[in-house]
Amino acid sequence: MSPEQFRRHGREVIDWIADYYERLESLPVLSRVAPGEVRGGLPAEPPAVGQGFDGVLADLDRVIVPGLTHWQHPSFFAFFPASATGPSILGDLLASGLGVQGMLWATSPAATELETQMMDWLAQLLDLPAGFRSDSAGGGVLQHSASDAALVALVAALHRVSGGATETAGVATGQFCVYTSGQTHSSVEKACRIAGIGTAALRKLDVDPHTQAARPAHLAELLAADVAAGRTPALVVASVGATGTGALDPVAELAELAHRYGAWLHVDAAWAGVAAVCAELRWINAGVEQADSYCTNPHKWLLTNFDCTAFWVADRAALIGALSILPEYLRNTATESGEVFDYRDWQVPLGRRFRALKLWTVLRWYGAEGLQAHIRGHVELAREFASWVAADDRFELLAPHPLALVTFTLRAGDDADSATRELLAAVNASGAAYLTHTLVNGRFAIRMAIGSVLTERRHVRAAWQLICEQLPEA
């Protein structure tokens, strides 16, 4: 593709994306294709000769769009948001165009140093502890996702608690233990499997039935029991905004117990952490100064498209010690000087995309005030939605809702679970909105997660009206 062809087709692609956003609200939120339908619309064999780009855009409309669940739709209230904004899309396009591989400082100094600065900027915006900044013993790095953050936190924890032995001898089955709430994201269990300590190493903490937050007393019991049995506590994960209900664990109490037994304390604030751009919401940072690592996802609620997970450590030496391997072909003067960060030592893969570029474009475009307005708007919409639920005696709120996630169910006697399932299925089948579910104290509940960049009050109001209209007949 020549520069002139790229220029022409690039304009067509930008126009297509802009048109997509203009018509997005008219599309059903949840894809309605049957299994195999998308593949059935594609040729069985690859093209023998090259084809024009015009056909790609035509097939995008014909085959791909009908098979999409529209995460940017203003009535997407499922899971957690996955932000996409103009500044971020353009930043990602620039990164793709530059095509740099930032595994080492030497392979693109700008990629490394911009990332270091963006992590320091974001730490300032979120009022995180100074120990997480690059001019301390800690520092920050952009990961693919909070799952990667959980995994590297576990690997660093194993390195530290074993004195580095796990890098040569591996891990012994049953030796190390990990502790987290039953409300915590499943990525922690997956990290245990990948790290080789297995699901059996994971201890699930009981939660408070009202707040759904982890109970420190149960952690204390489990830690003491494991130590008495000759096992080694390695990692405790505290959730700030757990996936099911948005639960907020008591970080300081969990950290004190973790450190008492020599374990690493990781805070998973994947969704909720970015709310701390607002001064009045910085109470969610309570106890974070005691954490060994912390992560939050700009690609969820902070206007930055996937993938972009911010991960900080208080002691980068443990992380680098666990993950650094330096073959001859990667040796260079800058690395050996010890004056630079080589972010390939802070993550699982060697290769690195230039993710910092889109975070840079987002922070510059919106500024702190724009980010704050975005978060505050959604928090207020969630508060209003929760007030409608609370005022209707057919429904019941099942967990606190201080941010932008509301968890509720039907009051339908012995049939409450089945009636709530039926309601959720009807709402999603309508195509007008998309919500997901969870279990709260064993009860089936609907999650209303407000966070789409395009969501306005009218969309939240319409979702509530739809919920009421789709109520199963008594």
Judge if 31 and 172 occupy the same domain: no
Tens-digit pLDDT profile for residues 213-264: 999 999 999 999 999 999 999 999 999 999 999 999 999 999 999 999 999 9
Residue 142 belongs to some domain of the structure: yes
451-468 b/e (C-beta count within 10 Å ≥ 16 → b):
bbbebeeebbeebbebbe
Judge if 130 and 268 occupy the same domain: yes
Residue 248: what pLDDT? 96
Residue 247 belongs to some domain of the structure: yes
Judge if 264 and 305 occupy the same domain: yes
Judge if 59 and 132 occupy the same domain: no
Residue 440 phi/psi, 5-degree rounding, is: -125, 115
Judge if 39 and 130 occupy the same domain: no
Residue 395 belongs to some domain of the structure: no
The rounded distance, in Å, linking the Cα atoms of 198 and 201 is 6
At 67 the three-state DSSP class reads helix
Radius of gyration of the chain (CA): 24
The rounded distance, in Å, linking the Cα atoms of 113 and 96 is 18
Judge if 12 and 138 occupy the same domain: no
Last residue of a domain, one of 314, 332, 353: 353
**CATH no. for residue 21?**
1.20.1340.10
Judge if 144 and 198 occupy the same domain: yes
Judge if 75 and 124 occupy the same domain: no
Residue 474: what pLDDT? 54
Nearest to 85 by CA among 350, 364, 309: 364
Strand partners, 181: 205
Residue 325 belongs to some domain of the structure: yes
Residue 120 belongs to some domain of the structure: yes
Residue 380 phi/psi, 5-degree rounding, is: -70, -40
Please count the structural domains in the chain. Answer: 2
pLDDT digit of tens for each residue in the chain (474 aa)? 999 999 999 999 999 999 999 999 999 999 999 999 999 999 999 999 988 898 999 999 999 999 999 999 999 999 999 999 999 999 999 999 999 999 998 899 999 999 999 999 999 999 999 999 999 999 999 999 999 999 999 999 999 999 988 877 788 778 999 999 988 778 999 999 999 999 999 999 999 999 999 999 999 999 999 999 999 999 999 999 999 999 999 999 999 999 999 999 999 999 999 999 999 999 999 999 999 999 999 999 999 999 999 999 999 999 999 999 888 888 999 888 988 999 999 999 999 999 999 999 999 999 999 999 999 999 999 999 999 999 999 999 999 999 999 999 999 877 999 999 999 999 999 999 999 999 999 999 999 999 999 999 999 999 999 999 999 875
Residue 28: what pLDDT? 95
Last residue of a domain, one of 353, 386, 421: 353
Last residue of a domain, one of 319, 353, 387: 353
CB hemisphere CA count around 321 (13 angstroms): 18
**CATH no. for residue 233?**
3.40.640.10
Residue 237: what pLDDT? 97
Q: What pTM was estimated for this model as a whole?
A: 0.94
Judge if 76 and 125 occupy the same domain: no
Residue 325 phi/psi, 5-degree rounding, is: -135, 130
Residue 158 belongs to some domain of the structure: yes
Domain that holds residue 261: 100-353
The answer to whether the beta carbons of residues 357 and 364 sit under 8 Å apart is no
